[in-house]
Structure 1
Amino acid sequence: MLKQFFILCSGVDRDLLKDCSEGEQTKYVGIGATVFFTAVMAFLASAYALFTVFDSIYPALIFGFVWSLLIFNLDRFIVSTIKKRDRFLDEFLQATPRIALAIIIAIVISKPLEIKIFEKEINTVLLKEKNEMELANKKQIGTYFKTDLDKNKAEIAALKADIVKKEKEVNDLYSIYITEAEGTAGTKKLGKGPVYKEKREKHDAALKEFETLKKTNEAKIAEKEKAGVQLQADLDKKVSQTQPIIEGFDGLMARINALNKLPWLPSFFIMLLFLAIETSPIIAKLLAPKGEFDFKQEEAETAMKATLAQNKYQRDLLVKTSAEMHDRVYADIAEDKGLFDLQRKNAKELLELQSHKFVEKQKATL
C-alpha cells in the first residue's frame, strides 16, 4: 500500500512501471517519497508562518494544508515531466526551468522553518527592538507634551516668584517701621511718631496686597498644578495606548527582518538543506541512467509518434487523391457540348432580362 502510494506521488505511468523490475520500481518509490515528504515540510512551514499571521491554529492548518497540496502538485509535475534523453546536456536544459522553480519553492519553504528554529535568537532581537521603540515612543510623546508641561511649570514658578517677591517686600516694610519705632533706623527717634505711622500704613497696605496676591496666585497655582497633573496623565495615557502596538510588533515580517539581522551562515545552510531536499528528485532523475521504464516510455512515445505520422500521411494522400479525381471529373464536364449549349442558353436569357430591366429604368427617369 505504501509502495503504491509513493509511486502515485512520483507521477510515473503506473501501467508501464508495473511490468518493470523491482529495482526500477524502488527508484520511483524513492522519488515519490521525496515528493511527499517535501510536501509535509511545506505544510509545517506554511502552517507555522500563517499561525504567526492569524494567531489561530485552525486557519493556519487549513491554509497550510492547501499550500502543501500546491507544493506536492508542483513537485509531482516537475518530476513527471522530466524525461531521459540520449545526451545529458539535453536533459539538463530540459530540467533548468524546473530546477529554478524548485529553488524558489525551497526558499519559500525554508524561511518559516528558519524562523521557528532560531525563535529564541529572534525573540532576543525583537525584545531589543521593542525596548528601543518604547524609548523612542516615550521620547516622541514627551516631546509632543513638553511644550505645554514646560509652559505650565514656568507659569507656576512665576506665580510663586511673585508671592515670594511680595512677601519679601512686606517683610522689608515691616523691618523699616519696626526699626523706626525702636529708633535704630530712619529718623532714629524712639516712639511711634508720624514717620512711624506713615511707614506702618505703607506696610499694612503692602500686607493687604500680599494677602490678596497670595490668595489669587495660590488659586492659580492650584489650577495650574491640576492642569499639569492632567497633562502628565494624558502623556501616560498616550504611552499606554501605544504600548500594545509595540508589544504586538511580533508578526511574520518583523520576524523575517529579525532573522536577517542574525548571522547569515546558519540560515544559509538550512536553506541549502531544503534546496537539496527539493531538488533531489530532479537531480536523481538527471543522474540516473536510462532504466527499463525509460525505454518502455520511449518505445510507447515512438510508437505513438509513428502512428500519428502514418495517419497524417494517409490523410494527406487521401486529400491529394481526391483533388486529382475532382480535377479530372471537372475537366471531362468542361468538354461536354450539351452542357456548354445549356450554359450558353442560360447566359443569353440572363443578358436579355438585364437589358429589359435597364430600358425600363431609363424610361422611368424621363
Structure 2
Amino acid sequence: MNSISRFFWFCSGTHQETLEKHPTEENKYVGIGATIFFTGLFAALSGGYAMYFVFKGGDFAWLFAVLFGIIWGLAIFNMDRYIVSSINKNVSTNRQLLQATPRILLAIMIGMVISRPLELKIFDKEIKERLKVSYLNGQRAKIDTLNNAFSKKYTIELDKLNDLKTQRDSLAAAIKSDQQKLNFEIFGNKTTETSGVMGYGPYAKRKEQELKQREQNLDTLTNDVRSLEKFIDGRKQFDGLMTEKLYTSKQLDSLSNIAGFADRNWALGQLSFNADGTKDTNTAIAVTFIGLLFIFFECLPVFVKLMSSPGPYDKSIESMETVQMYDAGKDKDFGIEVADGIHETRTSTEIERRKEQLRGG
C-alpha cells in the first residue's frame, strides 16, 4: 500500500518528502492522484480505440493502436498532473477561481476528446445498425440516380421500346382471339362472327391466311423488341447500371464492420434521431449523459483541489517557496556586491599604475 500511495502522490504532482510530514493530507492527495491516473488510463483506451479504426484492416493496426494509446494516455496524464499541481491554494478564492478557469476549460475539451471514442464502443451495436440503414439508402439513391440519368440519355430508344412492346402485346392478344374464332368456325360453333357450319370452308381459309399474316407481323415486332432490348442492355452495361445492385445482408454486415472513424462518429450523432427525422429523446439523453460523465471525470481533480481548504501541506509548500525565493534574492544581491567590489578594486589599481607612469615620465 505504501508503494501504491507513493505512486498516486506522484500522479498528483506533490512534493513527497513534504507530504510525508503531514499524514492528515496523504489520503486527499492519494484520491487526487488516483483520479488523474484513471483519467490518463481512460485517455489511453480512448486514443488506442480511435487509432485502431484509423488503421483497421492493416497488419499492424493493433500495434499502432497500442503505441498511440500509450503516448496519448501519457500526454493527457502529464497535462492533468500539471493542471492540478499548478493551482495555488495559498491565494484568495477569487484568485484560485481565476487560475482554475482556463484549466477547467482545457479539462472540458480533453473530456470531450476522451469520451467520443469510448461512446463509439458503448453504442457499437446501435451504430452498426444505423450504418446498415445508411449504406442501404445510399446504394438505393445511387441506383435511382443512375437510372434517372440513363432514362434522360436514352429517352428516344426507351420510348420506342415501350411502343413496340405495346404493339406486340396488342397483336398477340388479337392473334389469340382470331385463333379462337378460327377454331369455332372449323368445329361449327355458332357465334356472331362464325357461320356455325362445321368444316374447313372458304371463310375458315380466309381467317387462317389473315392469322398467318398477323403471326408474321408478330414475329417481326418480337425481333425488333429483342434487338432494341439488347441495345439498351448493352448501354446499361456500359454505363454501369447492370453492376449496381442493392447490398445483401452479408455485404451490409461487412461494410459496417470495416466502417471508419468518421462514419461511426456520424452514426453516433444520428442515434439521437429516429428514421423519420424526429428527436429520439431517450437515446439523446443517454449519449449526452455519458459524454458529460467523462467531462466531469476529467474536471474532477481540479474541482477536488478547488473545494479542499488549504492544509498543512500547502502551508509548508508556501514556506519552502518563500525561503527559496529569499535565498535566491540574497544570492543575487551578494553577487552584485561582489561584482561591484571587484570593479572598484580594478579601477583603483589602474589609477595607481597610471600615476606611476606619469611620475616616471
TM-score (norm 2): 0.70
Residues 23-64 of structure 1: CA deviation (Å, up to 9, x unaligned): 311111111110111112112322332333333561333322
Give the aligned residue type for 1:285. Answer: K
Is 1:259 paired with 2:268?
A: yes
Is 1:42 paired with 2:46?
A: no
Residues 217-266 of structure 1: CA deviation (Å, up to 9, x unaligned): 7655443222233345541303469x979974733222322333314433
| Correspondences of 1:302-321 after superposition (within 5 Å) | 302-321=322-341
Q: Contact conserved, 1:48 with 1:60, CA < 8 A, in 2? A: yes
Give the aligned residue type for 2:266. Answer: N
| Correspondences of 1:169-184 after superposition (within 5 Å) | none
Aligned residue number for residue 84 of structure 1:
89
SS in 2 for 1:84: coil
Match among 73, 77, 89 for residue 72 of structure 1: 77
Match among 230, 234, 238 for residue 244 of structure 2: 238
Which whole-Å CA distance do the structure 1 matches of 2:165 and 2:319 have between them? 105
How far is 1:148 from its partner?
A: 5.4
The 3 A distance-change label for structure 1 pair 162 and 100 is closer
Which whole-Å CA distance do the structure 1 matches of 2:165 and 2:348 have between them? 127
Which whole-Å CA distance do the structure 2 matches of 1:156 and 1:25 have between them? 89
How far is 1:303 from its partner?
A: 1.6
SS in 1 for 2:140: helix
| Correspondences of 1:216-227 after superposition (within 5 Å) | 221-227=225-231
The 3 A distance-change label for structure 1 pair 339 and 126 is farther
How far is 1:94 from its partner?
A: 2.2
Which whole-Å CA distance do the structure 2 matches of 1:125 and 1:163 have between them? 47
Which whole-Å CA distance do the structure 1 matches of 2:170 and 2:132 have between them? 52
Give the aligned residue type for 2:144. Answer: K
Which whole-Å CA distance do the structure 2 matches of 1:337 and 1:127 have between them? 102
The 3 A distance-change label for structure 1 pair 245 and 152 is farther
The 3 A distance-change label for structure 1 pair 277 and 108 is same
Residues 298-335 of structure 1: CA deviation (Å, up to 9, x unaligned): 22211211111001111111222233334444444555
Aligned residue number for residue 24 of structure 1:
25
Which whole-Å CA distance do the structure 2 matches of 1:216 and 1:46 have between them? 70
Is 1:228 paired with 2:229?
A: no
Q: Contact conserved, 1:133 with 1:246, CA < 8 A, in 2? A: no
SS in 2 for 1:85: coil
Moved more, 275-284 or 146-155: 146-155
How far is 1:74 from its partner?
A: 1.4
Aligned residue number for residue 285 of structure 1:
305
Aligned residue number for residue 315 of structure 2:
295
Which whole-Å CA distance do the structure 1 matches of 2:170 and 2:301 have between them? 92
Q: Contact conserved, 1:102 with 1:278, CA < 8 A, in 2? A: yes
The 3 A distance-change label for structure 1 pair 165 and 290 is closer
Residues 261-292 of structure 1: CA deviation (Å, up to 9, x unaligned): 31443333222211221111112112212222
In structure 2, list runs of 5 or more residues that go unmatched: 175-208, 273-280
SS in 1 for 2:87: coil
Give the aligned residue type for 1:236. Answer: M
The 3 A distance-change label for structure 1 pair 161 and 130 is closer
Q: Contact conserved, 2:135 with 2:252, CA < 8 A, in 1? A: no
Give the aligned residue type for 1:253. Answer: A
The structure where helix makes up a greater share of residues is: 1
The 3 A distance-change label for structure 1 pair 157 and 113 is closer
| Correspondences of 1:1-366 after superposition (within 5 Å) | 1-18=3-20, 20-55=21-56, 58=62, 59-147=64-152, 150-156=155-161, 221-233=225-237, 234-239=240-245, 248=255, 250-261=259-270, 262=272, 263=281, 264-336=284-356, 338=358, 341=361
Which whole-Å CA distance do the structure 1 matches of 2:46 and 2:23 have between them? 34
The 3 A distance-change label for structure 1 pair 227 and 300 is same
SS in 1 for 2:91: coil
The percent identity for this pair of structures is: 30
Moved more, 65-74 or 149-158: 149-158
Q: Contact conserved, 2:9 with 2:29, CA < 8 A, in 1? A: yes
How far is 1:104 from its partner?
A: 0.8
Which whole-Å CA distance do the structure 2 matches of 1:325 and 1:278 have between them? 61
In structure 1, list runs of 5 or more residues that go unmatched: 169-202, 342-366
Which whole-Å CA distance do the structure 1 matches of 2:9 and 2:253 have between them? 50
Give the aligned residue type for 1:230. Answer: G
Give the aligned residue type for 2:15. Answer: D
